[in-house]
Amino acid sequence: MTQTANGRGAPSARATPRTGAGRSTTRGRTKAATGREARPRTTAAPAERPWLGQWNSTVTSYYLLVGATALLTIIGLVMVFSSSAVTQIAAGKSPFDAFVEQARFALIGFPVLLIATRVPVRWYKRLAWPGLVVAVGLLAAVVVFGDATGGNQNWLPIGGFRFQPSELAKLALALWLGVVLGRKQRLLGEWRHVLVPAVPGTLAVVGLVLAGHDLGTALVIMMLAAGAFVVSGASGRLLGLGAAVAAFAVGYGLIYLQEGGDRLGRIASAYGECTDPLGECYQSLHGQWALGTGGLTGVGLGASREKWLYLPEAHNDFIFAVIGEELGLFGTLLVLGLFVVLGLAMSRIVRRHPDPFVKIATAAIGCWIVGQAFINIGVVIGLLPVIGVPLPLVSAGGTALVTTMAALGVVISFARTEPGAAEALAARGSVVRRSLAVVGRAARPRRRAR
C-alpha cells in the first residue's frame, strides 16, 4: 500500500492477487529466507546385511576350506580310534594301533598341505604332465606287481611300505585336465581339440584302475573327469558320449572284472529284495541298523554296538554308520554339512577366479572329494550298492588321507590367488603382527628413571 495526500492508501502493485508465477516467486523467497533448498525426494537404500558382506569377501573361500578341512580331519581321527579299538583288541593288538597309524599319516599330510598352499599356480601347471606320466607308470606297476586286498588289486608294495597309486592318480589327473583343457578352452567347440589328449589320458587312468578290479575308484575318477569337462565348456554331445563310455566301462567292470559275482550280487541286492541277510546284504543292513540305533543324539561317543565285530570295515568304508550310531543325526549332519561347505568354497573359486586352469582343476578336485563323500554316504544309508569307497579325511587310510590333504592344499593355494585375496590376507597378517607387537611392548617391564 502507498499513502496519498489525503492519507488514504491506494492499492499498489504488491497488493494485486498472486498468480501462479507470484506464488512460485514467493515460495522461492521464503525458502531463500529460511535457508532451505528444495530437495528431490529419494527412497532410502536398504542397509547391507553384514553376513552378506562377509560371504562376498575375497578371503571367504580360503577360510571355509581351511576350517572344514581341519574339522573333518579331527573328526576322522576321533572316529577312527572309536571305531577300531575293539577290532584291534580282538586281533591281539593295542587298541591305539589304528589311531596312531592314522595320526602319523595326518602329521605327514599336514606339512604337505601347508607346502601345497604356498606353491605358485604356475608350478602346478609345470608339474601336471610329469605328474600324470608318473601316475600312469605306477598304475601299470600295480597291475603287474600289486597286492590284492578285499578283491581289489590297488596296492603297490615298496620295501616294507604299501600305498595306493590310484589316489595319487586322482590329483595328477585333475591338474593335467586343468592344463590341457584350459589351454584349449577357446577351441573346445571342435571335437578333435576336446578328444585329444584329454579323453585318451582319462581313459588310460580309468582302464588301469579297472584292471585292478577297483570299481569304486574308477567311478570317482569318472566323476572327476566329468567335472573338468563340464567347467571347461565342452559341448553337450561330447558330454553325452562320455556318459555312454562311462556307463559301458562300469558295466564291463561289473560283469567281467568282478571275481565270483560277489560285487554284482551286492549291487543287485541293493535295488531288489535282500534274499540273504547273512550274505551280500549283511554289511549294508548293519550299517542302516547302526544309523537307526543312533537316533537324534546317538548312544554316546565310544558306545557303538555295531563296531563289536558286527559291522565289517567299521573304521573304513562304513565309518559314517558308526558316526550316526554314536553321535546321532546331529553328528551325521555335521559331517555332511562340512562336505557341503567344501563344495561351496570350491564353487566360489570356480566362479570368481579368472584363470581357466584354476577353474577346471578346482572343479575336478571338488567332484572327486565331495562326490566321493556323497557316494560313501549313499552306500551307508542304502541308496547305492557297496562298492568300497572310503569317506575322505574321515575313513582310515594313509595314502588317501595324505593325498586328499595335498589336493585341498592345492585348492587353498588357488583360493589365495583369487582377485583381492592376496592383498586381504597380507593386510590381516600385518594387523596380527602389529597387535602382537603392541601386546609384547605392553608386557615388558618398564624401567624406572633414576
Which residues, 6+ apart, have CB-to-CB distance to 205 below 8 Å? 132, 135, 136, 139, 169, 173, 221
**Beta carbons of 373 and 339 less than 8 angstroms apart:** yes
Q: What is the pLDDT of residue 18?
A: 47
Q: At what angle do helices 398-416 and 60-90 cross, to 10 degrees?
A: 170
193 SS3 class = helix
- Check whether the bond before 356 is cis (ω within 30° of 0): no
Closest to 259 measured CA to CA, from 223, 208, 215, 302: 215
Determine contact, residues 208/136, Cβ cutoff 8 Å: yes
pLDDT for the residue numbered 53: 54
First to last CA, the chain: 88
Distance CA 208, CA 221 (A): 11
Residue whose cell numbers read 582377485: 419
Q: Which residue has the cell 599319516?
A: 105
Phi-psi region of 153 (alpha: psi -120 to 50; beta: other; left: phi over 0): beta
Alpha-helical segments (H) within 48-164? 50-55, 60-90, 97-118, 121-145
Residues (pLDDT < 70) of the chain are 1-55, 189, 252-276, 429-450
Give the integer Cα–Cα distance in Å for 332 and 124.
35
Gyration radius of the chain over CA positions: 33
CA–CA distances in Å: residue 144 to residues 137, 158, 290, 292: 11, 13, 39, 43
Give the pTM.
0.83
Give tens-digit pLDDT for 423-436: 888 887 665 555 54
- List all residues 6 or more positions away from 138 whose beta carbon is below 8 Å from its beta carbon: 156, 165, 168, 169
pLDDT at 374: 97
Identify how many contiguous H helices and E strands the chain contains and give both numbers: 16, 5
Task: With H, G, I as helix, E, B as strand and everything else as coil, classify residue 213.
Answer: coil
| 320, containing H or E segment | helix 319-352
> Are the CB atoms for 390 and 80 separated by under 8 Å?
no
Residue 438 has a pLDDT of: 47
C-alpha cell at 225: 573327469
For position 440, what pLDDT does the model report? 56
Pairwise CA distance, residues 74 & 330, whole Å? 17
Residue 238 and residue 230 in contact, taking contact as beta carbons nearer than 8 Å: no
Strand partners, 149: 152
Main-chain phi, psi angles of 318, to 5 degrees? -110, 30
Distances (CA, A) of 147 to 134, 171, 213, 326: 19, 22, 12, 34
8-state DSSP, 93: S
| Separation CA 322–CA 290 (nearest Å) | 7
Q: Decide: helix, strand or coil at residue 152.
A: strand
pLDDT at 272: 63
Q: Which residues contact 195 (CB under 8 A, 6 or more apart)?
A: 238
Bridge partners of residue 147, in order along the sequence: 155
Distance CA 134, CA 156 (A): 14
Distance, CA of 319 to CA of 396 (rounded, Å): 9
* Of 212, 222, 270, residue with least CA distance to 249: 222
Instruction: Name residue 10's beta-bridge partners.
Output: 2
Nine-digit cell string for 167: 589316489
